[in-house]
Structure 1
């Protein structure tokens, strides 16, 4: 520790060793028990689970839309302010800390864990959905018009740009700072030490960590289950592979087995390797769409999309007097709740690989760089999709249809369809693997009391459990059980919103104290 008044909590301090496992008690057993009980409930009563959790999700979104929107705006402003303040010069891990990974590998890992797989589907489906009024239009902009196309691109960027990455950034920076600079365990509870003090060792900390485990594993299992159905749909569309429960379960098994190998090999031999593969395939696919698609429109569209994003940023960030209620709640507020429910997983993984970066470098990489990459990606894929929809080209001219096939419908109108569509399926599966792998490492961190060197068998346990949950729910309850799981994950976004707001206060307090101590600044009011 740096100072006598620094915390004395240490990783694995309250761990229990049983049968070769090294886990935090009671976080590990209570998390496992809660997961088991939920699976039984969702399997025995899938319709009831879907109804009850769906009501909880809808109640959160309908009654606390203002909280989600205000919080999202606060997170963006908070991160931008930290970039500009002198606090941005603080280095995660201390002045002499060195980054463990190159910038390229670092960015590849945080992007793959953050939202790479979502961009594969929604970069095409989302702009077309807004343009064709599939489920409302942003700000009630007339569908099928140039104004509608502008709003569609601006709203899509709004959902995948600064706001979600600011949510991830707050969690990731908090965990990295309190772990690497203050010596606290790399678990969610540590971010609240300036507020809770030694109570983070008690039930307040246990509850925070258990909620983080549940939100992470439910979110990952949901994505794996729905992703398997989407990948199976793509295989059926392209290669006439029967889209049956057997095909979907086979995809889950393949992804889980590869994820297990990756988890066993660790970050360097697993997540880092697959994340770099992701980036190469994604870059190749992006370059192909730019060259084979409406090239001039895509290149000029990067600037146009940036303007669409900027011009719609403030209206879409507003929560007062909205008259696009269906779209606003069904898309934006749902997204904010979903990003927040995923933030413990993504934030902790980003923190895990970010030691040695300055606060400013960290936030630029986590907030601004992904937004710029997303801008280019959306301009290429979303712009091409809107071009096809507006000009009556292919299936997208008839609307969005099956979301899982939107990407393939777009690629179908370009050359080398079978090759590019196969690459898209491979990219989706590799994104699933990196998500499962990084998620397993995160859950293992939390349930091992913040230890990053817990037995490999524990990582294997959590990676296996993700696949088992997805497979069992898909087989036993179908999409109804998975929808219940998703609704449960989204519902956790409400309490986590309050957690993240407190985290901002705690982080600023910790950073300010660190800056004073390291620079002998005169103490000022916080």
Structure 2
């Protein structure tokens, strides 16, 4: 094999970089019992996560107390760091749209897309949003608008003043819009460029090759990938736990089955089994098909709500809140001198840590499906389009609920969001106010389940890829292992602290991984500049 150790990682002529040879020098996979394990990432991650599950289940009260303290401490201590970091990542992604490097094509200038636009965007959207739209679509705008004493109102804006009646929607769009998707786009594009243009394995460590060189195959590479596994797993299980709670609320509404911790456990077990079936079918037959079903059902539910609540009111409200969102974005993105502590610390900083914790999962998934797209095309579709769609969904569901509450209705929403905080029931409380509830509620329940399954099987594919050293065709039994472990972690967190435990776990991994994402952006810039010179 040729000796490439003398090559400079940042040589002015990028064509002397021989990434493929360096990758071959760094392989250390082991294959016991027919497995394809990237040693020691698989072993260390698996042992530590199993240890966490056992400890949390054996000490549920202590776990609940710990996570109840952890999340507020982290979000109030590292608020400035999270917000400034996400701001920097967002500006970086926006710059890629207009800079000449936007012409670079993922996979090389002759690469062709693996999926149609419809299939590509459906998978991207289902993986990146999942349960969030259904869980928070009604809950979040209503909570911000009508929380006690306005403590969670964005920027402390008075909703009684003309033009401010939908400030809760603006605050929600801030959390589901431009900045969150920029984190996904930065990680996804980094992985895609280093994997498909520079012949490195599709794993997080590859993005650090310009800085670490051959060291990415050693200790620091193992640390990066192990951290990515933990961030992905805990970010994902937060969503799975929320989804399980919402499914339990739906079962109560549709079938009269009373919610309980054991019911939630059974739901997670059942959904995990369905996800295992999707994992066994693979990307095209499993994940892609479920994602497309997801999108069709979600669009159907959205159109139903638009029609019954008023098309004119829906789009008038949407354009109004989008103007407010753009106008208020600088203030919402400023971490200093905030007077809306409940909104800023209780929601914004948690969301940014959650998005960052999810970024290895969603980033790697969208990287896998984005070969053949230009950088500009990738960023636009991964950043601008989802922001617009998320804003439309939140303004439609949340805005209609706010209008109903202002008119003296929506008692189900008032009961679950305002009078007592039972967030998993907000969607069904809203749907009760609409016609055909006996039909729409079961359909919504099925939609939640499919979103749940899509997140679980997509997550297991991503974690398996990381722990197999970037292999896209690792043995199926490994994906089964990670899918099962996701369900176990979600159960452990729900029983060991509920929502606080889920959110605390996500934040605890999101904060350290923020540094990883920032460095990835710098390495991505170096790689894109090199690829542009080849055009």
Question: Into which bin does the TM-score normalised by the smaller protein fall?
Answer: over 0.9
Give the secondary-structure state (helix, strand or coil) at the position aligned to 2:434.
coil
Q: Look up the match of 2:517.
A: 500
Give the secondary-structure state (helix, strand or coil) at the position aligned to 1:10.
helix
Question: Offset at 1:48?
Answer: 2.6
Contact 1:139 1:324 in 2 (8 A): yes
Q: Residues 269-288 of structure 1, C-alpha deviation per residue, up to 9 Å, x if partnerless?
A: 01100000000000100110
Distance in 2 of aligned mates of 1:47 and 1:277: 40
Contact 2:154 2:343 in 1 (8 A): yes
Contact 1:50 1:487 in 2 (8 A): no
Matches within 5 A, 1:386-397: 386-395=402-411, 396-397=413-414
Q: Look up the match of 2:18.
A: 6
Question: Offset at 1:146?
Answer: 4.7
Q: Does 2:258 align with 1:242?
A: yes
Distance in 2 of aligned mates of 1:151 and 1:229: 27
Aligned pair count?
515
Q: Look up the match of 1:182.
A: 198
Q: Look up the match of 2:454.
A: 434
Q: Residues 368-417 of structure 1, C-alpha deviation per residue, up to 9 Å, x if partnerless?
A: 11111112212211111111121111223465342111111111111001
| Stretch deviating more after TM superposition (479-488 or 192-201) | 479-488
Q: Look up the match of 1:480.
A: 497
Are the structure 2 counterparts of residues 413 and 323 from structure 1 closer, same or farther at C-alpha, using a change threshold of 3 Å? same
Question: Offset at 1:244?
Answer: 2.8
Q: Look up the match of 1:112.
A: 126
Matches within 5 A, 1:154-169: 154-169=170-185
Distance in 1 of aligned mates of 2:265 and 2:425: 19
Contact 2:72 2:346 in 1 (8 A): no
Distance in 1 of aligned mates of 2:245 and 2:139: 16
Matches within 5 A, 1:293-312: 293-312=309-328
Q: Look up the match of 2:110.
A: 96
Distance in 2 of aligned mates of 1:483 and 1:18: 39
Question: Offset at 1:254?
Answer: 2.2
Matches within 5 A, 1:272-421: 272-395=288-411, 396-397=413-414, 399-400=417-418, 401=420, 402-421=422-441
Question: Structure 1 residue aligned with 2:137, among 98, 113, 123?
Answer: 123
Distance in 2 of aligned mates of 1:67 and 1:472: 29
Distance in 2 of aligned mates of 1:210 and 1:15: 15
Give the secondary-structure state (helix, strand or coil) at the position aligned to 1:314.
helix
Distance in 2 of aligned mates of 1:471 and 1:334: 21
Question: Offset at 1:467?
Answer: 1.8
Distance in 1 of aligned mates of 2:22 and 2:71: 35
Question: Offset at 1:457?
Answer: 1.1
Are the structure 2 counterparts of residues 458 and 246 from structure 1 closer, same or farther at C-alpha, using a change threshold of 3 Å? same
Q: Residues 134-171 of structure 1, C-alpha deviation per residue, up to 9 Å, x if partnerless?
A: 55211112256555433211111111010110000000
Question: Offset at 1:117?
Answer: 1.2
Matches within 5 A, 1:146-225: 146-225=162-241
Question: Offset at 1:489?
Answer: 2.3
Contact 1:131 1:148 in 2 (8 A): no
Contact 1:391 1:397 in 2 (8 A): no
Are the structure 2 counterparts of residues 186 and 9 from structure 1 closer, same or farther at C-alpha, using a change threshold of 3 Å? farther
Unaligned runs of 5+ in 2: 5-13
Distance in 1 of aligned mates of 2:336 and 2:214: 40
Contact 1:68 1:337 in 2 (8 A): yes
Give the secondary-structure state (helix, strand or coil) at the position aligned to 1:149.
coil
Distance in 1 of aligned mates of 2:103 and 2:373: 9
Question: Offset at 1:293?
Answer: 1.1
Are the structure 2 counterparts of residues 112 and 171 from structure 1 closer, same or farther at C-alpha, using a change threshold of 3 Å? same
RMSD: 1.9
Question: Offset at 1:442?
Answer: 0.3
Question: Structure 1 residue aligned with 2:29, among 15, 18, 29?
Answer: 15
Q: Residues 237-270 of structure 1, C-alpha deviation per residue, up to 9 Å, x if partnerless?
A: 2321122334323322221111111111111001
Distance in 2 of aligned mates of 1:482 and 1:77: 32
Q: Residues 353-380 of structure 1, C-alpha deviation per residue, up to 9 Å, x if partnerless?
A: 1111110110011001111111221221
Distance in 2 of aligned mates of 1:311 and 1:506: 32
Q: Look up the match of 1:469.
A: 489
Q: Residues 320-344 of structure 1, C-alpha deviation per residue, up to 9 Å, x if partnerless?
A: 2111112211011111111111111
| Stretch deviating more after TM superposition (442-451 or 247-256) | 247-256
Contact 2:131 2:243 in 1 (8 A): no
Distance in 1 of aligned mates of 2:72 and 2:262: 32
Distance in 2 of aligned mates of 1:207 and 1:53: 24
